[in-house]
Amino acid sequence: MHGENMTAAPGMRDLAQRLLDYEAGAGKSSEPVGSPTLLVYEKLRQSLGEFVGAAGFQSLATRALTLATPEAPGLSVARVAADGCLHGLGGTETQFEIDKDQVGDGGAILIARLLGLLRLFLGEALTLSLLRNAWPDEAIDDRNFENGRKA
């Protein structure tokens, strides 16, 4: 396993959970718009896809899914398409159901792994900068990066 952590770093888990909570909260105030995991994932895909390209994001997301699946076996049915979209969980793309009720902490773990990869490749400052751009209303600080340095 090339020395990577067997579980997502706690700081990344916390950060992922904050983003999921944020999206869940945003959904409550208006019409439901889908699962928080999908919303977080899609925002990351849009934000990262712009500069790494669809293929670049697809590679990162596939790696994140591979790292996350042993921790959350429910993710084993998921796959990342060529355009970076996440498929295979729930019935359809819009009925995304990888949150706690279906696969335990799968959603948080997948997002945590993705964030961990970003931090690993781009560093804390740049990752924070990208996250703040994607979630301008959420106060994202560097506290979450203090725990561990692995994906």
Residues within the interface to another protein (CB under 8 A): 47, 49-56, 60, 121-123, 125-126, 128-130, 133
Query: Residue 125 Cβ, how far from another protein at the closest point, in Å?
Result: 4
Least distance from another protein to the Cβ atom of residue 133, Å: 5
- Contact yes or no for 17/9 (Cβ under 8 A): no
For 67-93, give one letter per residue: b (16+ CB within 10 A) or e.
bbbebbebbeebebeeebbbeebbeee
Question: Looking at beta carbons only, is 77 or 126 nearer to another protein?
Answer: 126
CA pair distance 135, 138, nearest whole angstrom? 5
Residue closer to another protein, measured from CB, 89 or 131: 131
Judged by CB, which is closer to another protein: 63, or 97? Answer: 63
| CB of 98 vs another protein, minimal distance in Å | 25
